[in-house]
Structure 1
Amino acid sequence: MGILDTVTDMMAGSTQHAPGNAGDDGSEGSYWCGDCGVRVRDVAVDDEGLDRDDNGTPACPDCGESMRFERASGTGCAC
């Protein structure tokens, strides 16, 4: 069963996040502006100083429209 155990271990390890991938800092995705194409990671919204509406949705820093949230896939960045 040595080969089977090795393959099983490799497959289990492939689901782990590598350093620098999404999830290392608590990010769950990014906010996007469909009009301007501006992207701001969810963990950077406050650092960017973006205004928020009554629901907490950030406004685009370029045009002021509400941004939409898209979750990270967990396999890399939220690009």
Structure 2
Amino acid sequence: MGIFDTVTEAFASSAQRAPGEGSEGDSAGAYWCDDCATRVRDVDVDDEGLDRDADGTPLCPDCGETMRFERASSTGCAC
């Protein structure tokens, strides 16, 4: 049962992580610029210093157009 115990421990330790410790953090999705194909995760918008429009939606750092928000899939990935 050694391999079974190892797998069980690996899943248990990953489930005990605090929010924000995973590679995806607490991300709910990403902002996309359809013109430039620029992508910025929602949790990175402030760190990247993006300007925002009157509604608070980030503006593309490359072309200045309003970006579109796309929710993460059910897997937790904001890709």
Runs of 4+ displaced beyond 2 Å: 19-22
Alpha-carbon contact 1:21-1:77 (below 8 Å) kept: no
Partner in structure 1 of residue 52 of structure 2: 52
Question: Structure 2 CA distance, aligned partners of 1:36 and 1:28?
Answer: 22
Q: 1:24-77 CA distances to partner (integer Å, 9 max, x unpaired)?
A: x22100000000000000000000000001111000000000000000013142
Alpha-carbon contact 1:32-1:68 (below 8 Å) kept: yes
Partner in structure 2 of residue 69 of structure 1: 69
Structure 1: state its 5+ residue gaps: 1-12
Question: Structure 2 CA distance, aligned partners of 1:69 and 1:36?
Answer: 14
Structure 2: state its 5+ residue gaps: 1-10, 16-20
Q: CA RMSD in A?
A: 2.3
Partner in structure 1 of residue 6 of structure 2: none
Alpha-carbon contact 1:31-1:39 (below 8 Å) kept: yes
Give matches, 1:1-79, under 5 Å.
20=22, 22=24, 25-79=25-79
Aligned pairs, how many?
A: 63
Q: Secondary structure at the match of 1:66?
A: coil
Question: Structure 1 CA distance, aligned partners of 2:27 and 2:78?
Answer: 9
